Amino acid sequence: MSMHNKTPLVHISKRREMPWYWSFGIRAAAIAAAFLVCAFVTMALTGENPLAVFATLFYGAFGTERKIWILLQNIAILLCIALAVTPAFKMRFWNIGGEGQVLIGGLAAAACMILLGDKLPNGLLIAVSLAASLLSGALWGAIPAVFKAKWNTNETLFTLMMNYVATQLVAFFVIVWEVPKGAGKIGIINQSSEAGWLPQIGDYKYLLNILIVAVLTLAMYVYLRRSKHGYELSVVGQSERTARYVGIKVGRVIVRTMILSGAICGLAGFLLVAGTDHTITTTIAGGRGFTAVMVSWLAGFNPLSMVFTSFLLVFLDRGASEIATNFMLNHAFGDILAGIILFFIIGSEFFIRYQLHFRKRSKKEV
């Protein structure tokens, strides 16, 4: 009878498949629970009632037409970077250098706008700076990939260090090109001539960026799901040995994928500099290279689901910054809320992948 006492209280086993509505339900429940905790935390800090807090959260994200456009623009950029890091992650290449690749892409665009601003016709200038951004982003991604492919150099650390090298490069050029001298920043580039600025569609400043990223999302979906390249990189991600065995050149796939990944990050930098900000600073990527990793993972590396996960994170960020402004709190408040929600979503994955079996009571009574 001593056997009974030894049965653990909870036994964990892997689930096979779960109907999609169940896994969807679990995730929704996790997000709902996270929002409750967030409301509680906000209440404890501000003393407001939770409904008012939620109202502020929504107002911050959707309150005015301008806020909605900013929300969409931020989603587009975050989504673009998340799309960029996804093929690398599917290959189990931990590219946390999105930040640096975006920066260097933005720097290349800014360099073209500053140096060639009055020398080329506008259309050609935009094409040249786009190409420069893509190339420099690709280069920034390819360097760690080459070392990884040849000598198995740790890519996490490598890409991380490349971020700082890029940041310092930008800091260097900001001082070289600063306007006026001693200001420590570049200011709006080509403000009067608007040379190198992406054209606006009608009155909508952000629409072009959003459309470009929408097209890119579909393209990435097709690339990962339907193309030979996409298939190869997921084989490499699942098992390098299998990939070698079936004749996939692993090194080439790594470098090729990172060139793509870096180039798309470069594109994000280009959209930021030529499309919206028209200037370059060391904080132009704003930590999105790291947030993008979470966007991509939370969506299970599916480009279409990433639209939703990036929406969730940007929505929180915008809403929380509104709360912070209203209650005169620090703007980092958004990071705390984002962290809480992420913890809940990360934790909820467990209940999708595993099943809990509790010890049955009835046996004891027999």
Partner 1 sequence: MFDFVSFIPRAVVQSIPLLYGATGETLTEKSGNLNMGIPGIMYVGGICGVIGAFLYEQAAGESLNGFLAIAIPMLCCLLGSLLMGLLYCFLTVTLRANQNVTGLAMTTFGVGFGNFFGGSLIKLTDSEVPSIALSATSSYFSASLPFADRLGWFGEIFLSYGFLAYLAIVIALLTAYVIRHTRVGLHLRAVGENPATADAAGINIGRYKYMATCLGAMIAGLGGLYYVMDYACGVWSNDAFGDRGWLAIALVIFTGWRPNVGILASILFGGLYILYLFIPTGTNLSIKELYKMLPYLVTLVVLVLSSLRNKREKQPPQSLGLAYFREDR
Strands (E), the chain: 10-14, 354-358
* Near partner 1 by CB under 8 A: residue from 9, 51, 176, 366: 176
Q: Is 61 exposed, middle or buried (0-12, 13-18, 19+ CB in 10 A)?
A: buried
- For partner 1, the closer of residues 128 and 294 by Cβ is 294
Q: Which stretch binds partner 1 (CB under 8 A): 57-65, 217-225, 254-262, 291-299?
A: 291-299
CB of 328 to partner 1, least distance (A): 6
Reduced to 3 states (helix: H, G, I; strand: E, B; else coil), residue 61 is helix
* Near partner 1 by CB under 8 A: residue from 59, 62, 69, 147: 147
- For partner 1, the closer of residues 157 and 218 by Cβ is 157
* Near partner 1 by CB under 8 A: residue from 24, 40, 115, 153: 153
Q: Which stretch binds partner 1 (CB under 8 A): 168-176, 192-200, 202-210, 269-277?
A: 168-176
347 near partner 1, rule: CB under 8 A: yes
Q: Which stretch binds partner 1 (CB under 8 A): 32-40, 204-212, 284-292, 357-365?
A: 284-292
315 near partner 1, rule: CB under 8 A: no
Q: Which stretch binds partner 1 (CB under 8 A): 59-67, 158-166, 262-270, 272-280?
A: 158-166
CB of 28 to partner 1, least distance (A): 18
Contacts of 293 by beta carbon, 8 Å cutoff, 6+ apart: 82, 85, 89, 96, 98
CA 74 to CA 83: how far, in whole Å?
14
40 near partner 1, rule: CB under 8 A: no
328 near partner 1, rule: CB under 8 A: yes
CA 208 to CA 278: how far, in whole Å?
15
CA 332 to CA 316: how far, in whole Å?
12
10 near partner 1, rule: CB under 8 A: no
Q: Which stretch binds partner 1 (CB under 8 A): 30-38, 107-115, 119-127, 173-181?
A: 173-181
> Which of these, 141, 68, 64, lies nearest to 101 by C-alpha position?
141
Instruction: Please provide the size of the chain in residues.
Output: 366
Q: Which stretch binds partner 1 (CB under 8 A): 102-110, 119-127, 161-169, 269-277?
A: 161-169
> Which of these, 313, 293, 356, lies nearest to 98 by C-alpha position?
293
CB of 78 to partner 1, least distance (A): 13
Pairing of strands 10-14, 354-358: antiparallel
* Near partner 1 by CB under 8 A: residue from 161, 201, 218, 219: 161
* Near partner 1 by CB under 8 A: residue from 48, 240, 277, 335: 335
14 near partner 1, rule: CB under 8 A: yes
- For partner 1, the closer of residues 59 and 290 by Cβ is 290
> Which of these, 341, 346, 332, lies nearest to 45 by C-alpha position?
332
The two tokens of residue 238 are 């699942």
CA 7 to CA 363: how far, in whole Å?
11
Do residues 345 and 35 lie in contact, with contact meaning Cβ atoms separated by under 8 Å?
no
164 near partner 1, rule: CB under 8 A: yes
Burial 90-105 (b: 16+ CB within 10 A, else e): bbebbbbbbbbbbbbb
- Cross-strand pairs, 357: 11
Q: What is the DSSP letter of 357?
A: E
- Contact residues for partner 1, defined by CB under 8 A: 12-14, 45, 94, 96, 147, 151-154, 157-158, 160-162, 164-165, 168-169, 171-173, 175-176, 287, 290-291, 293-294, 297-298, 328-336, 338-340, 342-343, 346-347, 349-350, 353-354
